[in-house]
């Protein structure tokens, strides 16, 4: 079981809230946008979704 992480670049403000909230460092900020660089580490906790005020992140079970 894994998790599919999608970041809507059009909505993402790049404030890093998702990066700060993630307990396993899934995200990096690249080019002013959040990018899931370690998606295999995702726990599916959705703390990033809750932290994202722009509603730019979705996490779904694969």
Burial class of 27 by CB neighbour count within 10 A (0 to 12, 13 to 18, 19+): buried
Where does 3-61 sit in CATH, by number?
A: 3.30.70.20
Instruction: Work out the average pLDDT over 12-20.
Output: 98
pTM of this structure: 0.93
Q: What residue segments make up the domains of the chain, in order of their start? A: 3-61
Handedness of CA 48, 33, 4, 41 (dihedral sign): negative
Instruction: Work out the average pLDDT over 32-42.
Output: 97
In this prediction, residue 1 carries a pLDDT of: 72
In this predicted model, what pLDDT tens digit does every residue of 38-55 receive, in sequence order?
Answer: 999 999 999 999 999 999
């Amino acid at each position: 079981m894994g998790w599919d992480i999608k970041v809507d670049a059009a909505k993402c403000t790049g404030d890093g809230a998702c990066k700060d909230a993630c307990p396993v460092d899934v995200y990096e900020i690249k080019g002013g946008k959040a990018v899931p660089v370690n998606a295999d580490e995702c726990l599916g906790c959705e703390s990033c979704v809750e932290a994202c005020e722009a509603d730019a992140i979705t996490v779904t079970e694969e």
